[in-house]
Amino acid sequence: MIRFKMILRTKINRFLVLSLIFFHRAGAFQPTLPPRGSDSFVSLKMWSGEDDLQGSDRIKSCVPYVLPLVDGDHFGNYIYERIPPLGVLDDILLQPLVGLFDTVPFLGLILFVALTLGTRGNTDMSRGVRFNAQQAALIDVALVFPELIASSFENEPDLPRYIAEPCSNFVYYAYISAVIYSIVSNLRGKKPNQIPYISEWSELAVGPF
């Protein structure tokens, strides 16, 4: 329960940080569409361009997704229990990172700020890498909503498993699907910009350049 409260408090802090970033970004960019066919119109298409990932950027773009993988791992507890091989993989691949995040104070928040503020406007990084950093942060922030719902039942120790398990599994399937889609797309050199709402907000956070 203590760890759950720490996770919830950290996610709320990240949500507030991201809200400030988006309010600033929304105020900074108020583009008006130039005539179609003009040079300005062509450059404006960078907002939604299908920019492919090249070379080492394919790997760099996958690294930020460690954050949502670690933060959302506990939603898979029922699945790991029912499918032991997945539980073994989780113990090997993710639990050491989960332990590290629990041991080092504010590590998750520091990484979150690095992904959002540290990559925003950093033209030394390719736009694809910056897009993935913002998208990973948004997937992580999206987990705050099921965390808030779960927190409302924290005083209900006898919540039936037939309610808790499908709800937890649904969140796990949703976020892990987004992460796997993003990682696989990156490794193929394709920009993972087809996640509803999240990809659009990631484009906005990165900006046109």
- What local confidence, expressed as pLDDT, does residue 160 receive? 86
Sequence-distant (≥ 6) Cβ neighbours of residue 6 within 8 angstroms: none
State the pTM of this model.
0.76
**Which long-range contacts link 193-199 to residues 24+ away (Cβ below 8 Å)?**
193/48, 193/50, 193/131, 195/135, 195/139, 198/135, 198/138, 198/139, 198/142, 199/135
Residue 143 near residue 72, CB atoms below 8 Å: yes
pLDDT at residue 50 in the model: 53
- The pLDDT of residue 23 is 44
* pLDDT of res. 41: 39
pLDDT averaged per 10 residues in sequence order, the chain, 209 residues: 50 50 44 46 45 86 94 94 95 93 85 81 84 93 88 75 92 96 95 93 83
